[in-house]
Amino acid sequence: MKLIRFGAAGNERPGVWLEPATPAERPMLLDVRAMAFDIEDYNEHFFAHFGLERVANLLREPGRKLVPAEGIRLGPPVARPGKIICLGKNYAAHAQEFDAKIPESPILFSKAGSALSGPMDPIILPKNVTRVDGEVELAVVIGKTAHHVAERDAFAYVAGYTVLNDVTDREAQRAAGQWFRGKSPDTFCPLGPFLVTRDEIPDPHRLQLTSSINGQVLQDGTTADLIFNIPFLIAFISATITLLPGDILATGTPAGIGSARTPPVYLKPGDRIECAVEGIGRQNNPVVKDIP
* Whether the Cβ atoms of residue 114 and residue 241 lie closer than 8 Å to each other: no
pLDDT at 155: 98
Instruction: Supply the mean pLDDT for the chain.
Output: 95
d(CA 139, CA 287): 22
Side-chain-side CA neighbours of residue 170 (13 Å): 15
Q: What Å distances lie between residue 67 and 31, 34, 38, 89, 133, CA to CA? A: 7, 11, 19, 41, 35
CATH number of 84-289: 3.90.850.10
Q: Are 31 and 24 in contact (CB under 8 A)?
A: no
**Is residue 143 a contact partner of residue 163, using CB atoms and an 8 Å limit?**
no
Distance CA 123, CA 65 (A): 32
pLDDT tens per residue across span 57-82? 999 999 899 999 999 999 999 999 99
Reported as a pLDDT band with limits 50, 70 and 90, residue 216 is: very high
Distances (CA, A) of 89 to 69, 100, 242: 37, 10, 23
**C-alpha span between 186 and 253 (Å, rounded):** 20
Read off the pTM.
0.97
Q: Are the CB atoms for 191 and 163 separated by under 8 Å?
A: yes
pLDDT tens for 221-274 read: 999 999 999 999 999 999 999 999 999 999 999 999 999 999 999 999 999 999
Q: pLDDT digit string (tens) for 97-122? A: 767 678 899 999 999 999 999 999 99
* Residue ranges of domains in the chain: 2-75, 84-289
Contact (CB, 8 A) for 241 and 84:
no
Q: Please write the tens of the pLDDT for every residue from 152-201.
A: 999 999 999 999 999 999 999 888 778 999 999 999 999 999 999 999 99
